[in-house]
Structures are given as structure tokens and as C-alpha cells.
Structure 1
Amino acid sequence: MLACVLVVAGVNAWVILSSKGSMESLDEAVYTSSDPCDCIIVLGASVYADGTLSPILQSRVDAAIQLYKRGVAPVIVMSGDGREANYNEPSAMKEYAVSCGVSADDVFCDPGGYNTYDTMWRVSRVFGAESCLVVTQEYHLYRAVFDAQGVGMDARGIVSDEGTYTDQLWYDIREIAGRTHDFWNIAIGAVPDNPGAAISL
């Protein structure tokens, strides 16, 4: 039991420490309009029944919109769960971004981003991105950047935190398991169950 705890603790420490240097705030974004990356990746989260984005998701999309309007990337990839006809995170994210002035042609939906690792694998292998800015909350960003770099992308993370969120303690606890799981996915080169056909950004 102690050995398992030590392994999990060690893996989490490795993921956090190896990603920390690649994380920055909106104002610190390394990529610019004169030196853009291939895309901005927004990771999905809950969407309400009426199509409204949850606060945690809206803050991610809002940050991506700001980056897009600054010209740091030509396109945004909205990735999340789109398996159900009546529940589609990427579609709701795109609709919100377009309503905020982003060109619909510059927003790509990835309905196969069922988890963070799948998103990064698909953006790299399916969409063909080599460089990216990943947008999510700090607690999640360590793993997201680790995954993106682990599948071969030149990735940097943008922190999208806006205050505190409901259930933050649960998110933090869940992330311990998430980091451990994704560490092994990177180690073995896991391939998502439904990788999909290539899409050009």
C-alpha cells in the first residue's frame, strides 16, 4: 500500500514539475501574431441542458477568444465529449465563441476528446498540429501540458482561472488519478479507441 502511495505521489510530482515551466498567464503568452502557433486547444467541461457553458468552461473559452483575437494562432480547436445527439460540448463551445466574434471557419470541433490524453493525441495525430497553446484551469493545466508535450507537440499552457469554482476540492482530488493515468498513457504510447480520420487545420 505504501509503495502505491509513493508511486502515485512521485508520478504527480513529476508531471507538475515537468510542466510548470511551460505554463503562463494570458498576458505572458509566448506566441504572438508575428510568431504564432498552429492552434489554441480548449478542453471541454460541463455544458448545461440549455446549451449554456458552465463557469469553468466559459472561462476557458473566454481566454481562448482573447488569444485568438490577439493573433497568437489562426484557429481554435474545441475538444470535448460529443458522443450524444443531445449533449455536445465542442458544438456549444464553438457556438459561444462565434457569438463573441470568432470566425466560424476558424473553429474546429473535436467531438472525440473524451479525456485530456485523447484530446492531445487527436490534435497531434488527427489534426496534425505541431505547436499549440492549451487553455484550461491551473489544476488541470499541468496534466494537459504534459500530455501535449508527451505526444510530440511544442506546447505551452495558458491559465484560465477566474476566481474559485464550485467543487474545486473534488477537481483537485480527481486530478491526482488523472495525472497518474495519463503518465502511463504517455509511457506506453496509448492510442484512443476511436482515433478518427485525418483533418487538416
Structure 2
Amino acid sequence: MTNANSPETKSPAGRRFLRWLLLILLLVAVAWFGWVYREIKFTADIDNAQTADAIAVFGAAEYAGRPSPVLHARLDKAVALYQRGIAPVVVTLGGGGDKDSGNTEGGVGRDYLLANGVPYDKIIAETESFDTEQQVENLALIAEREHFRHIVVVSDGTHLFRIALLCRRAGLQVYTSPRAPLGHIDELDEAQRIMHEMLSYTALRFGLHASWMHRWLNGRAD
């Protein structure tokens, strides 16, 4: 006997409904990700740096006490902003690094700034955070302690749209400032960076913070 609920016995109206539902969900997903993509690109292409209380450099990888090319570019941008008088203090963010050596992204950033003319008492190194979310949380604590009202945040251009949302949620008023490009970036690498940010931003907005997704989307503090 044929099961009344089998696909063969579903009514044409039921199949049409499912097709329309899938189509609507697809269109919603396309519209959402199209908007996120556009906002990521728009934020990445605009430098909003202006007079503030501090400059915050988001961490990236360090290699044996030396900044990776990405972190190097972010720190160079912070040095340039500091030299322009944008803000009197620079905050370097990021733990991570090599546990055996004791190096951290924030500590390596501090050393780089010192070597490039930023005085020691004008640098605050945060060395405990392990991802973007924690960097923002710790930046908020520093801002409260130091009475920073406005902060220029420096990172990769594609990273800044998500950072801006996290900062707003943490009660921070920030201006985004992208680092300079690193030579030629191939299309695949650029696509991977944007896809990572699109998924991370979507997870953040919709509260998809299951531990497996958090580890997948935020495997490093980038």
C-alpha cells in the first residue's frame, strides 16, 4: 500500500508551495548576502580616520617576535595616523602568538611602534585576547578605564565592517581606517577573505554562536 505521506502522493499544490518557499528563501539569502558584501566593500574602501582619543590596531599573526606582513601593514597605518596627530595614544590588541616564546600580537605591536618613534607612555598593549570579539571586549574595558570617547580602529579593510558592529554593541564610538594593500592579492584570496567576513558577520547578527561555528568562523584573531 502506498504511504499517503510519500512524495508520490503529495498534491501538486503542496509541491508548488514547497518550490515557492525554497525560491523565497533563496531570494532572501541572495539579498542578505548581497547587502553584506556591498557594506563590507564600502567600508573597506573608505578611510574615516579623524581626530580621536586613541588609535586601536587589531591583532594579526606574529612570527617569532616579528609582525607578519598583515600586522606590519596595520601597524604602519597606526604610526602614520599617530604622526598626523589623529590621536595621542595607540592601543595594540591581541594575545595569541607562540606560547613557548611568550610573544603576543599586542606585545609585538608595541615593540614595533616603539621602534618607529611612538613613545612608550603613548602605547597600551592588550595581550590576552584570542579573537576579534575578545579584542573588542578588552578594547571597551581599556576605553572605559582611560576615558576614551572616540577611537580610530585599524585593520584589514574587509575586517572593519564586522569590527564596527562589535564596537557599537560594546558601546564604543569608532572611526574605521583600513590598512594599505599588500601588493597584489589574487582573486581567490580576496574571495576567501570576503566570504569569511560575510559568514562571520551573518553569524554575529543572527546570534549563531554555537561552539562549532565560533571555532570555524573565528579560528584566529584576524
Q: Same fold (TM over 0.5)?
A: yes
- Pair member with larger Rg: 2
Report the TM-score when normalising by structure 2: 0.67
Quickly say closer, same or farther: Cα 1:111–1:40, change in 2 above 3 A.
same
Runs of 5+ unmatched residues, structure 2: 1-21, 208-222
Match of 1:153 in 2: 172
User: Partner of 2:155 in structure 1?
Assistant: 136
2:70 corresponds in structure 1 to 56
Q: Which whole-Å deviations, capped at 9, do the CAs of 1:109-157 have from their partners, x for residues lacking one?
A: 1123322222122211344133110111211111112221222111110
Name the Cα RMSD after superposition. 3.2
Kindly indicate whether the alpha-carbon contact (under 8 Å) linking 1:23 and 1:156 is maintained by their aligned counterparts in 2. Answer: no
Aligned structure 1 segments of 4 or more residues deviating by more than 4 angstroms: 1-9, 18-23
State the 1:7 CA deviation: 5.4
| TM-score normalised by the chain length of structure 1 | 0.73
Q: Residue 16 of structure 1 contacts residue 143 of structure 1 at CA under 8 Å; is this kept in 2?
A: no
Q: Is the Cα contact below 8 Å between 2:91 and 2:125 reproduced in 1?
A: yes
1:4/1:152 Cα in 2 relative to 1: closer, same or farther (>3 Å)?
Answer: farther
Gaps of 5+ in 1: 32-36, 186-201
Q: 2:4 matched to which residue of 1?
A: none
Distance in 1, Cα, partners of 2:93 & 2:33: 25
Report the alpha carbon displacement of residue 11 of structure 1 after superposing the two structures with TM.
Answer: 6.8
Q: Is the 8 A contact 2:95 2:128 kept in 1?
A: yes
Aligned-partner Cα distance in 2 for 1:5–1:112: 41
SS of the aligned residue for 1:40 comes to: strand
Measured after TM superposition, the shift of residue 9 of structure 1 is: 6.3
Identity %: 25
Counterpart amino acid of residue 46 in structure 1 = A
The alignment of Structure 1 onto Structure 2 pairs a total of residues equal to 178
Q: Work out whether residues 29 and 158 of structure 1, in 8 Å CA contact, stay in contact via their aligned partners in 2.
A: yes
Which structure shows the higher helix fraction?
Answer: 2
Q: Equivalent residue of 1:132, what SS?
A: strand
Q: Which amino acid aligns with 2:72?
A: Q
Report the counterpart of residue 182 of structure 1 in structure 2.
Answer: 204
Contact 1:40–1:135, Cα closer than 8 Å, also in 2? yes
Corresponding position of 1:199: none
1:173 to 195, 200, 214: 195
